[in-house]
Amino acid sequence: MAQRSRLHVPHPPARPGDKPDFRYVQISPAGAVPRPEITTPAREMERLAIEMVRVLDEQHTAVGPWHPHLEPEDLQVGLRHMLLNRVFDDRMQRMQRQGKISFYMKSTGEEAVSVAQAMALQPGDMFFPSYRNQGLQIVRGRNLVDLMCQCLSNTRDMCKGRQMPIMYHWGRGNIFSISGNLGTQFPQAVGWAMAAAHKGEDHIAASWIGEGASAEADFHHAMTFAEVYRAPVILNLVNNQWAISTFQGFAGGEHRSFAARALGYGMPGIRVDGNDFLAVHAVTQWAAERARKGGGPTLIELVTYRAAAHSTSDDPARYRPRDEWKSWPLGDPIERLREHLIALGEWSQERHAALEKELEAHVAACWKEAMSYGTLTDGPKLDPATMFDDVYAKIPPHLERQRAQLQAMGEARSSDGSGDREDLQRETRFAAKEG
């Protein structure tokens, strides 16, 4: 022990140029972690928060008590969704590089989180996503054109040009709006679940937060309210190791798993191999059943790796080894499910290649359609006057006036190219006194 206090500044095990080192990731063998009954008290299953639930072993076989025994058709659907997620991400990233959209965030390497979890939940369950959960939209059947139009801020943009790309929402699909503030959705999901319980409904809520944003007070609020009121909610902490440039040690992950935080609140915490489709599906189903039967919330830590940059504005080669992804000990979720299906005799490399081609063509066709509704720079445009809608349920007088002012400027521009003609000066409503 040192003689006096010094700031401990966490360091990731490898920086650019170093050999990737993931020895810090504690991994349990597939099938090794017991599966408790959903009625088990939280304090009797603390191991779940420390060890790692895994189903797929090194031979791509599903083993152990968490094996969800899904039909091969379901696994094929899951594989298709994950692959579509990745193909979609790749396309959108390229479109950002070509200047068609201003920004994008891929979920490469984390596809099993959203896809397996959404598939394990029911359509009436409400999702409060973070910004790397596009798989939730895909599982619920969202037309990709809608997502693309949002990224393009075009005439079919669900957000009417008010949000930067990827801040989707889908009322009919029970997917809440994504907030750029990070973490705010976590306690809101708890509130939604409290209302479901208040009304005696069967639906549950699920929310996602990154391990980085779990340092926000919103995480603590969510955990406290969820456990105090035993809200029917699944709180998912996606530990993808990196919050932009800070590794998970800066969120307090150096000495204890994030799942173990649940224990202090008195709720079950489950640490799961986030790249194991079957394990993710199984723990989600367990937590959902527990919540639906009045057992309250569960914190699930999904251990995964952010294989791509944080966003199109980020260059991870500046802060971590360029090829770190290749050394990630939990592999690639798509490859692992593909190999499992091949081992089951329910898939082949040829079918996989054909599927990939089909999905690429589908995404390309969607993109073509989306572009026909306009882009930030070309084609049909949203009316800027709509920016005054939806600030309030009904437009108040001061916004009516501002809108009229904007419209008058637009008319002036289109008539003579000037926006500040004298007759457009704003009139006051109380004319000058005479004399």
Partner 1 sequence: MNMVQALNSAMDIMLDRDPRVVIMGEDVGFFGGVFRCTDGLQRKYGEQRVLDTPVAEGGIVAAAIGMGVNGLKPVAEIQFADYIYPAFDQVVSELARLRYRTAGEFSSAVTIRSPCGGGIRGGQTHSQSPEGIFTHVCGIKVVMPSNPYDAKGLLISSIEDDDPVVFFEPKRIYNGPFDGDPNKPAVPWSSHPKGEVPDGYYTEPIGKAVVTRPGSDVTVLAYGTMVHVAEAAVRLAGVDAEIIDVRTLAPLDVDTLCTSVCKTGRCVVVHEATRFSGYGAELVATVQEECFWHLEAPIQRVTGWDTPYPHAFEWEYFPGPQRIAAALQAAMQGASVGEPR
Residue ranges binding partner 1 (CB under 8 A)? 126, 128, 158-160, 162-163, 167, 169-171, 176-177, 179, 181, 184, 186-196, 198-199, 205, 217-218, 220-222, 224-225, 228, 389-394, 396-398, 428-433
Interacting residues of 147 by C-beta distance below 8 A, sequence separation 6+ = 88, 134, 137, 168
DSSP category for residue 130: -
- Dihedral sign for Cα 233, 236, 237, 243, please: negative
Least spacing, CB of residue 129 vs partner 1, in Å = 13
Q: Provide DSSP, 239-258.
A: E-SEETTEEGGGGT-SSS-S
Contact of 307 with 90, CB cutoff 8 Å: no
Q: Provide DSSP, 101-122.
A: SS-----TT-HHHHHHHHHHS-
Least spacing, CB of residue 229 vs partner 1, in Å = 8
DSSP category for residue 424: G
Radius of gyration of the chain (CA): 25
Least spacing, CB of residue 153 vs partner 1, in Å = 12
Least spacing, CB of residue 170 vs partner 1, in Å = 8
Least spacing, CB of residue 184 vs partner 1, in Å = 5
For partner 1, the closer CB: 391 or 404: 391
Least spacing, CB of residue 194 vs partner 1, in Å = 6
For partner 1, the closer CB: 327 or 425: 425
Least spacing, CB of residue 296 vs partner 1, in Å = 15
For partner 1, the closer CB: 143 or 327: 143
Counts of helices then strands in the chain (DSSP H, E): 12, 7
Least spacing, CB of residue 313 vs partner 1, in Å = 20
For residue 87, what are its two tokens?
């193909």
Least spacing, CB of residue 103 vs partner 1, in Å = 16
For partner 1, the closer CB: 177 or 246: 177
For partner 1, the closer CB: 75 or 148: 148
For partner 1, the closer CB: 395 or 412: 395
Helix, strand, or coil here: 385? helix
For partner 1, the closer CB: 16 or 384: 384
Tell which residue, 72, 107, 65, has the closest CA to residue 274.
107
For partner 1, the closer CB: 158 or 406: 158
For partner 1, the closer CB: 75 or 231: 231
Tell which residue, 173, 139, 165, has the closest CA to residue 370.
165
Phi, psi for 183 (deg, rounded to 5):
85, -20
- Find how far residue 348's CA is from the centre of its chain: 30
Tell which residue, 36, 28, 78, 22, has the closest CA to residue 53.
28
Helix, strand, or coil here: 124? coil
